[in-house]
Amino acid sequence: MNLWDKLGAMIKSRQLRIPVPTRFPRISLPKLLQFPKVSLGQGKVKYVIGGSVLLSSTVVTVGLIFAVYDVASATFEFPKPGAVYQDLHTGGTLGEPLPPYADGTESQTLKILLASGARLSSLNLSDIEIGATGLTTACFSIQRAATNTTGFLNVDQFTVDGLVAPTMIVSNTEVNTLNVTAQVDGGSNNVTLDSTISDMTIMSEREAGDFVASPGTVVDRILIEFLGEAYIKSLSVTDVNCSISTAATGAIDWDHVKAGNMTMSNIKVGTGTGVNSADFTLDTTVKAKSYTSQIVDTPITVK
């Protein structure tokens, strides 16, 4: 057995114990490093602090609620009135608020602004009540924007079913096939027949918007403006009632429209001035290749 073997045998034969301390000495911080005891003093102080925290939380919560309300009330989703909608042709439905009227009251106008080249597969205005006391502009206008001097609103199918107003005028319009059925308190029917007016066919709906105004919408007026040539495959006006308008140009005033087919039925227009004073006017600037007229003069007063 060599030296290493003898050492191994000696270590193996002995038991090694490692002492483990059972108590640890207490270590205390110097008095200068000790933290002072904090006391709320009287018991009522904790209620004051708790009330302050509760009040602060309430103020923050109320502020958040009003902030959310302000954002929601400032969001104009088509067809909410008081706004101009200029991105309908791209699929957008959020509008921008219109400025208030001169007397400071908020505008309740539903304004649809179509960009040059805009395309809509359909625009449906159904069951809408319009008009306001003292309104000096038409309560339903289709017109060029101020910067547009040549563009038209091109419509494949223009359908009107159920339209009531004190006065109505249509001008600067070209229609391939025009059908009008109306009861009016005096009418001026001056349509010019023109065989050169071509049909309007709008087929492609690629990248075109499609919008329907919620039934029961109440606004002071409807305004459709176009910045250049704009295209709508189907424009539908159903059960729209206009009242209380002092606009000299007509409570309903439609201009610069080119349509393949325009059918107007169940129209009632009149101010009660008698059939010898025209409240319904189809101007000489309205041209049609084919025209069917069923306009009946009868005393009507729209209030």
pLDDT digits (tens, 9 = 90+) for 49-100: 666 666 666 655 555 444 333 444 447 888 888 899 988 887 888 888 898 8
Q: What is the pLDDT of residue 100?
A: 84
Handedness of CA 200, 206, 212, 213 (dihedral sign): negative
Q: Over 90: is that where the pLDDT of 236 sits?
A: yes
Q: Please state which of the ranges 84-88, 150-154, 180-184, 245-249 shows the lowest mean pLDDT.
A: 245-249
User: Cis omega before residue 79 (within 30°)?
Assistant: yes
Q: How far apart are CA 39 and CA 45, in angstroms?
A: 10
Cα angle 114-117-121, degrees, rounded to a multiple of 5: 70
Q: What is the pLDDT of residue 246?
A: 62
Q: What is the pLDDT of residue 65?
A: 46
Would you list the DSSP string of 249-285? Answer: T-SEEEEEEEEEEEEEEEEEE-BSS-TTS-SEEE-TT
Q: What is the pLDDT of residue 67?
A: 39
Cβ atoms of residues 169 and 265 within 8 Å: no
Q: How far apart are CA 234 and CA 159, in angstroms?
A: 8
